[in-house]
Amino acid sequence: MRKSKPQALARRERQIMDVLYKLERASVGQVLATLPDRPNYSTVRAQLRVLEEKGHVRHEEHGLRYIYFPAVPRDVARRSALRHLVETFFDGSVENVVAALLGGEVTRISRKELDRLARLITKGGKES
């Protein structure tokens, strides 16, 4: 049976995933200790369970504790999130994304960065 693709994340879920990607494996307590605005333990535990249901997280049992870890490599999650962002906010247009990124900030981009971007565009977005 084919797994469905992971669903979009809420703000707190993204924060939890950031913690898991940094720590690689963590208990509820370790995730809680790293989060801003310190939610309570049961909230973090419930959110980890939801993240597992969505396909973002898996767990292993270590004694009485669950140790959570990302189910999807960070680069795969990053591409999926970027694709969602482009489709949702930029009508699927990479050109609109680049225009928004450059906006009035072109003067802040170094010649080296502009050259690298030009090479990426020339290669069709495939970086070696």
Buried b (16+ CB within 10 A) or exposed e, 9-39: beebbebbbebbeeeeebbbebbbebbeeeb
> 0.75 exceeded by the pTM?
no
Per-domain boundaries in the chain = 11-70, 74-122
Can you give the pLDDT at residue 106? 56
- Sign of CA pseudo-dihedral 96, 15, 74, 23: positive
d(CA 80, CA 5): 9
Domain 11-70 has CATH 1.10.10.10: yes
Q: Distance (Å, rounded) from C-alpha 48 to C-alpha 42?
A: 10
pLDDT in tens, the chain (128 residues): 444 455 678 889 999 999 999 999 999 999 999 998 889 999 999 999 999 999 999 999 999 999 999 998 999 888 888 888 889 988 888 878 877 877 765 557 778 888 888 888 888 755 44
pLDDT at 35: 95
Angle at 15 between CA 57 and CA 95, to 5 degrees: 95
Residue indicated by tokens 């249901």: 53
| DSSP state letter for 72 | S
What are the residue ranges of helices labelled H in 1-128? 11-23, 28-34, 41-54, 74-89, 94-102, 111-122
Cβ contact 31:16 at 8 Å: yes
Torsion of CA 109, 115, 118, 120, to 10 degrees: -100
